[in-house]
Amino acid sequence: MKTLSVEETAEILHLNVKRVQSMARQGKLPAVRVGRKWLFRREEIEALLGASATVPGPALSISARNRLRGKVARLSIDGLMAEVQLQIGDQELVSLITRSSAERLGLKVGDVAFAVIKSTEVMIGKEGGEE
């Protein structure tokens, strides 16, 4: 069983350390207080993130509505970058992320993961259209 500090948990959840402490005190995050420190079980925090298509709790909501759930079909880590191929239905989506992000998420082939798409421009193409 791997335990996380408040700082590590805040990094995983992309929250401020004080917010994580507050959520633990309120019982919104599963945690144990040992002396003056809060400890979090890594599996429980990761389960919160992967439990459903929506990120739990208002503090973890994101503005992007384009969330696609898929399975990691291929993971290639080289140097500072990682290429993640998600299988979403009969389609494949490839994303380049940092190596540290892939390691922090604990990504491995077969994992269920989400692609969150936020873009200011989307282009559409059609086979056989004008050039």
What domains lie within the chain, and their CATH numbers? 3-60 (1.10.1660), 66-117 (2.40.50.100)
Predicted confidence at residue 61, as pLDDT, reads: 60
Predicted confidence at residue 14, as pLDDT, reads: 84
Predicted confidence at residue 52, as pLDDT, reads: 40
Give the amino acid at 29: L
Predicted confidence at residue 50, as pLDDT, reads: 64
Predicted confidence at residue 78, as pLDDT, reads: 93
Give the C-alpha separation, 92 to 72, whole Å: 10
Predicted confidence at residue 48, as pLDDT, reads: 78
Q: What is the pLDDT along the chain (131 residues), one digit of tens a residue?
A: 789 999 999 888 888 899 999 999 998 899 999 998 999 998 888 877 764 433 444 444 666 667 788 899 999 999 999 999 999 888 999 999 999 999 989 999 999 998 888 777 767 777 876 65
What ranges make up the beta strands (E) of 51-90?
Answer: 66-78, 81-88
Predicted confidence at residue 58, as pLDDT, reads: 44
Give the C-alpha separation, 65 to 125, whole Å: 22
Distance of CA 41 to the CA centre of its chain: 17
* Kind plus residue range of the DSSP H or E element containing 114: strand 112-117
**Torsion on CA atoms 106, 62, 33, 2, rounded to nearest 10:** 0
